[in-house]
Amino acid sequence: EAHVVRSNHKITPDMVEAVWLGFLRYLEGSAEIGRLSTEVAEKTGMNRGSAFIYFNILANLEKGEANTRTMKMEDLEYYMGKIKSELGEHKFQEALKSLRRSVPYWKEKLAGSFGDRVEAYCRKYPE
């Protein structure tokens, strides 16, 4: 029976940046998430599944939709800064809405403090 080996490579700043640059192409409509995930994996060595998760989280942030998957808190904060500076205040507010919608799920379903940390982050930006 086939055994899937999951590699837990550390996600590096270069990988995080490559996902962001790919996401901008996704927003332009010039590439879809599956292909971008493969490209980032080939270019940076990031696990393709991790890249796929990161792209989907970004897509949900941009649309203000809830997420069930997570990323490292420092990466999330980096992306939130990029959304604010490069996509503008309206998209940043959509991303905050996405995070607020995601917190109850994360707090209920995930061990650890991720939901609490995101909630604290959101409190810095009152509605």
Instruction: Give the model confidence (pLDDT) of 86-124 as tens digits.
Output: 999 999 999 999 999 999 999 999 988 999 999 999 999
The radius of gyration computed from the CA coordinates of the chain, to the nearest angstrom, equals 15
End-to-end CA, the chain: 51
Interval 7-25 mean pLDDT = 90
Per-residue pLDDT for 49 more than 80? yes
Task: Say if residue 43 is exposed, middle or buried (CB neighbours under 10 Å; 0-12, 13-18, 19+).
Answer: middle
Instruction: Give the model confidence (pLDDT) of 68-78 as tens digits.
Output: 999 999 999 99
3-state secondary structure of 13: helix
* Distance between CA atoms of residues 104 and 112, nearest Å: 13
pLDDT of residue 50: 95
